[in-house]
Amino acid sequence: MIAAGGTGGHIYPALSLADELKKRGHEVVFVGSRSRLESTLIPEAGYPFIAMDITACEGNLVKKAKGLLSVFINYFKAFKMTKGYDLVIGFGNYISIPIVLAAKKQGIKTMIHEQNSYVGKANRFLEKKVDLVIASYDESLPQFTNPHTYLIGNPRLSIACQSPKDEGLLPELGLDPSKKTVVIFLGSLGSASVAKIIKEYLLNFKDDHQIIYATGKRYYDMFKDIKHPNIRILERIDAIAYMKVADLAVVRAGATTLAEIMGIGIAAVLIPSPYVPNNHQYHNAMALVNKGAGVLLEEKDLSAASLKEKITELLNDDEKRSAIAAKAHALANVNVLEDIIKRIEELWKQ
């Protein structure tokens, strides 16, 4: 059983691990919130999904109290839910807490995976109680006290490494593969705070390179009328496929996106969202930036002019861009899935 939910940053890595487990003959069932993203993404991926009515432990004091009560109530429901499983895995988020705790209480093997460099509250709470902890960044290791903690990485990294490059992708969009291409995406929903700045940048675009901008569902209408021979506006993209054919990426610093960047080996301008818990996207970004594997552009410093400056600088300096890409890929453990499965199999033998 895998508990994952809330955002794509938790869900997509969990699905990648599930796919590998399924290939090896294991049965996988997911559990998540009835009202959040996982309730559509996971069934679409073909996995059984058990929906829970659970409230996030965030917001003001009243909302946090309701969230804690919700977790407490679901803890008792989770005993029946987890009965008979051989392993229960939590991928962060509050949804993991009642599921993992109930499994542990019944003697079922338990594991958590942390995608971010700054460990989330749910995993901080669970890490001492589980049998196995998998981390994605060396910066997160001092935050864990469980002796069975291993630095392996994000399952999406393996997918990024293994995915073939689609040489026909740019021609299908009417773009020229011989021109330098920048792909810009800021999450599945997009970003209100950044959308206006990107629109200003695109409306004043006069360069010869090409831009592919994935707006996210909420902001497609805001951009759909922009017409330029070197600009393509899309609502959503397969991030791995498009980064494989691009020379530069402009992205948020979500854990899954950065894992994909490392797996592919592409230079990226990182714009961490300042609106996430514990400012974890900034910490994720700095884990790359401090190693010369990415370029930071904080939202407080973001403007159409500063965005243009960063993009132009990197596209005009092939040596610098290539060095950043190489350093990003050097951080990648290309055997993430294989190494996680190995630890799981060792856990089953104990």
DSSP string across 185-235? E--SS--HHHHHHHHHHHHT---SSEEEEE--GGGHHHHTT--BTTEEEES
pLDDT at 189 exceeding the cut of 60:
no
Amino acid residing at 90: G
Please give the Cα distance from 350 to 252 (Å, whole number). Answer: 40
- What's the Cα-to-Cα distance from 277 to each of 134, 283, 322, rounded to whole Å? 20, 11, 32
CATH number of the domain located at residue range(s) 2-153+333-349 in this protein: 3.40.50.2000
Superfamily of domain 161-330 in the CATH hierarchy: Glycogen Phosphorylase B; (3.40.50.2000)
- Of 23-32, 107-116, 275-284, 304-313, the poorest mean pLDDT is in 275-284
CA 337 centroid distance within chain: 15
pLDDT score for 285: 95
In this predicted structure, what is the pLDDT of residue 157?
A: 92
More confident residue, 12 or 59: 12
Beta strands in 36-90 (DSSP E): 49-52, 87-90
Model-level pTM? 0.85
Q: What is the pLDDT of residue 58?
A: 63
pLDDT, mean of residues 39-48: 93
C-alpha triplet 348, 96, 49: angle, nearest 5°: 85
Both structure tokens of 306: 């500063």
pLDDT 10s digits, 280-295 = 899 999 999 999 999 9
Predicted pLDDT at 281: 92
Q: Which residue has the higher pLDDT, 6 or 171?
A: 171
Query: At 59, is the pLDDT very low, low, confident or very high (cuts 50, 70, 90)?
Result: low
What value does the CA radius of gyration of the chain take, rounded to a whole number of Å? 21
Enumerate the domain spans of the chain: 2-153+333-349, 161-330
Structure token digits, residue 127? 């890490």
DSSP annotation string for 106-151:
TT-EEEEEE-SSS--HHHHHHTTTSSEEEES-GGGGGG---TTEEE
Q: Kindly report each contact of residues 22-25 with a partner whose C-beta sits within 8 Å and lies 24 or more positions away, as own/partner.
A: 24/341
